[in-house]
Amino acid sequence: MDNIIFKDGTLFLLDQTLLPNEEVYITPKTKEDYFDAIKILKVRGAPAIGIFAAYAMALIEGDKVELKAYLDSARPTAVNLSWATSRMLKAYNEGKNLINEAVEIHNEDKRMCRKISEYGLSLLKDGDGILTHCNAGALATSQYGTGLGPLLLGKENGYTFHVFTDETRPLLQGARLTSYELERAGIDVTLICDNMASIVMKQGKINAVLVGADRIAANGDVANKIGTSGVAILAKHYGVPFYVLAPYSTVDFNCKCGDEIVIEEREPDEIKTMWYEKPMALDETKCYNPAFDVTDNSLITAIITDKGIAKAPYNKSLKEILND
Ligand code: MRU
């Protein structure tokens, strides 16, 4: 299933807000269409946002510096967005063909996801029980995905996995997207509420946790979907390996540690009203809705990238895997 398709000069985007009930492709035209699609998560997942923004930079006419700043402001945490728009701006300044550059970013992501999936699969065994949080599959990238990549590649190679997916409050990427993707791929998947991660680990059902990443600091602290650090703490407690899978471009060497990562805050309605017939809290009740949290590097067993597998100390290993 392709979430972003560029065909005959037109960009088609699978609207992820309608999944799993409807598979509808939209065709954004204006810069506001592109901005809104990123902001309200019609396209989401760090690498997919970057690919989509690259096409926006190629297809929207006008001042590219302003366009980049406008698109980057839609979602601040995932580094892939500003990484892709910076690369497109550089290509523009060098007089390159911007459509070709965007297509190359898209194709590169497919190659990176495949490598990440291969490295990730090398750490798993047939029959493993896996826990995942949010959605780091093909919908969040181009193909295979990052966190789900080893599972999809493993399925192609005859592995059987038993996957538990957290529903991932408040936007339910695990329920709406991960279970949908894995069901379609024929992989055994069981949906749990976020607060059930502990019991499935305690019951010995989980051999590894696989998650994606939105920004990786130089010291290996990782920003990821809200709730991920809680899963990492549980994994450490129960002795379950906790793996982060992401393209190498997710490593932000300008960020020394997780404290420097800007955390996106979203609207209270996502908690109080979005999925309910009636509001689930009083109108006057305050909500705090950070969209990401930071997992401390000490909780991470390995960071699996397209360049190789990094282990602590990450300050050293994240640089070293480039030269291996
Ligand atoms: O808010 P989202 O749905 O864009 O958050 C996505 C995640 O946190 C993903 O797990 C992360 O971007 C990695 S995607 C391969």
Q: Whose CA is nearest to atom 6 of ligand 1?
A: 45
Mutating to test ligand 1, I would choose from 81, 214, 265 the residue with most ligand atoms within 8 A of its C-beta, which is 214
* pLDDT value, residue 195: 98
What is the average per-residue pLDDT within 127-145? 97
Which of 14, 43, 44 maximizes ligand 1 atoms within 8 Å of its Cβ, making it the mutation to test the pocket? 44
Percent of the chain with pLDDT strictly greater than 70? 100
Q: Which residues contact 213 (CB under 8 A, 6 or more apart)?
A: 46, 146, 222, 223, 224, 244, 245, 246, 250, 303
DSSP 3-state helix, strand, coil percentages of the chain (rounded to 5)?
A: 45, 15, 40
Q: Tell me the CA distances in angstroms from 205 to 130, 141, 208, 235, 305, one per residue in order.
A: 8, 28, 9, 12, 26
Query: Residue 315 C-alpha to ligand 1 middle, in angstroms?
Result: 23
pLDDT of 323 over the 90 cut: no
Q: Is 288 exposed, middle or buried (0-12, 13-18, 19+ CB in 10 A)?
A: exposed
Confidence of residue 89 (pLDDT cuts 50, 70, 90): very high
Residue 300: its pLDDT value, please? Answer: 98
Q: What is the pLDDT of residues 153-192, one digit of tens each?
A: 999 999 999 999 999 999 999 999 999 999 999 999 999 9
DSSP annotation of 212: -
Distance CA 235, CA 12 (A): 39
**Separation between Cα atoms, residue 321 and residue 324, nearest integer Å:** 5
Locate the ligand 1 atom nearest the alpha carbon of residue 292 and give its number: 8
DSSP string of 98-136? HHHHHHHHHHHHHHHHHHHHHHHHTT--TT-EEEE-S--
Ligand 1 site residues (CB inside 6 A) read 41, 44-47, 78, 134, 136, 140-141, 145-146, 173, 212-214, 224-225, 291
d(CA 153, CA 59) in angstroms, rounded, equals: 33
Token pair in block for residue 18:
């309608």
For residue 10, the Cα-to-chain-centroid distance in whole angstroms is: 24
Give the DSSP H/E element, type plus range, for residue 243. Answer: strand 242-245
Quick one: which atom of ligand 1 is closest to the CA of 224? 8
Q: What is the pLDDT of residue 219?
A: 98
| Residues taking part in catalysis | 214
pLDDT tens-digit map of 95-123: 999 999 999 999 999 999 999 999 999 99
Q: What is the mean pLDDT of residues 80-99?
A: 97
Nearest of 233, 214, 210, 243 to residue 82 by alpha carbon: 214
Interval 253-307: pLDDT, tens: 999 999 999 999 999 999 999 999 999 999 999 999 999 999 999 999 999 999 9
Which of 139, 224, 228 to mutate for ligand 1's pocket (most ligand atoms within 8 Å of CB)?
224
Q: For 21-46, give one letter per residue: b (16+ CB within 10 A) or e.
A: eeeeeeebeebebbbebbbebbbbbb
Among the atoms of ligand 1, which is closest to the Cα of residue 246? 15
Residues linked to residue 236 through DSSP beta bridges, in sequence order? none
- Atom index in ligand 1 nearest the CA of residue 49 equals 4
